[in-house]
Amino acid sequence: MSNELQKPIIGFTCGDLNGIGIELIIKSLQDIRILDICTPVVFASNKSINFYRKSIPEINFTYNSCKEFTRLNTKQVNVFNCWEEEVAITPGVLNEIGGKYALLSLKQATQALKDGHVHALITSPIHKKNIYGDDFKHSGHTPFLKEFFEVKDVVMLMVAENLKVGLVTEHVPVAEVAKHITKENIISKLKIINASLQKDFGINKPRIAVLGLNPHAGDEGLIGNEEETIIRPAIKEAKHNIMVFGPYSADAFFARGQYNSFDAVLAMYHDQGLIPFKSLAICEGINYTAGLPVVRTSPDHGTAFDIAGKDRADHSSFLASIYEAIDIYRRRMGYAEVRQNPLKKISARMLANAVDERLEDGAFGR
């Protein structure tokens, strides 16, 4: 196994400087055992790391400071200095400084990801209002990454050990959701989820459930007709290549545990998918951008200004984001290798067939 596959370089954005991002990074990377499975690179500044390090006195956090990727230390956490100037950090305060440096970190980190200097990226939480501007006209990380990597479509896929939930629409006002529910959008999302389950999660024949838009999945047209005119036709067409089922009534689907029978669920809008997901994942869920040519994960929560700088942030989801990013990266590498060497797969199939034939002939004493 190559050293790159054993120990990939994982990038981290700092998120909003006044949020809990850097605290999460310090808490997640302070255990030196993390260095056995990856080389971390934090895109921030020494001063910002030191500021939050002082607020967590019980943690002994050391790092290597660098400005060039050739200077990375594989035996330490690395801080890639994105800026040198003094910055007024005010934990818990929503201001333009937090957004400005969150964007600076994000841009340098995504460029490093695109250039291959890091193998996967963990993004810390940003605040959509104070990062939005002329240089960032997006509703969050997902649409930014879609544009930055120039892909036609992506899926915000929430991932936990026993549940994966994708969204047709993301940060869209509820009043506008229905107009984005189209046959084309649903099929596009299903294709991306199906491919991601195979390539990123190692599931050969994924089963995907689709939720309805309306209460009770429309009750056969009595409560809205999108299920009959849009969602069902999309499912029927997608079934030619994907094992997809539905539409299901969202409330009963989660309440009765039907999600356990599927590898992923496609929800129609943000809260329809995220409320049950966050309730069931219990602090260990992550956000994964499916459909990108690169690997990006993040925790499933926001900036938490109310507890920023108070050493109260729970880093469970952030740590899960790191582990999942490494696992997805390795699975992708393995997936690509199998397809570059198809004889490996053919040989295994031929061996299985030979064993079956010998069993039928009674060669093993059956």
Annotated domain spans of the chain: 1-151+292-350, 153-287
Query: In the predicted model, is pLDDT for residue 4 greater than 80?
Result: no
Q: What is the mean pLDDT of residues 187-203?
A: 97
pLDDT, residue 341, reads 62
Q: Degrees (nearest 5) of the Cα angle 100, 312, 14? A: 25
- The yes-or-no answer to whether 1-151+292-350 and 153-287 have a common fold is yes
DSSP state of 243: E
Mean pLDDT throughout 188-209?
97
SS3 assignment, position 45: coil
**Which residue spans within the chain are E strands per DSSP?**
9-13, 39-44, 64-66, 78-81, 120-122, 155-160, 163-167, 207-211, 243-248, 264-267, 286-290, 295-299
pTM of the model: 0.88
Per-residue confidence (pLDDT) for residue 357, from 0 to 100: 52
Among candidate residues 146, 122, 128, the one with its CA nearest the CA of residue 287 = 122
Between 131-140, 234-243, 253-262, the lowest mean confidence (pLDDT) is in: 131-140
Residue 343 banded pLDDT, cuts 50, 70, 90:
low
- The CATH architecture that domain 153-287 belongs to is 3-Layer(aba) Sandwich (3.40)
Tokens 């108070």 found at:
310
Q: Which CATH superfamily is domain 1-151+292-350 in?
A: Isopropylmalate Dehydrogenase (3.40.718.10)
Q: How confident is the model at residue 321 (pLDDT cuts 50, 70, 90)?
A: very high
Q: Mean pLDDT lowest for which of 47-51, 133-137, 143-147, 260-264?
A: 133-137
Query: So what's the pLDDT on residue 358?
Result: 45
Mean pLDDT of 86-90: 95
Residue range 306-334: mean pLDDT, rounded: 95
- Note the pLDDT of residue 351: 44
Tokens of 361: 């002939």
Q: Please compute the mean of the pLDDT values over residues 32-47 and round it to a whole number.
A: 96
Q: Is the pLDDT reported for residue 157 higher than 70?
A: yes
Q: Residue 2 has what pLDDT? A: 55
Q: Does residue 345 surpass a pLDDT of 50?
A: no
Lowest mean pLDDT among 8-17, 198-207, 217-226, 264-273: 217-226
Task: State percent of the chain over pLDDT 90.
Answer: 82
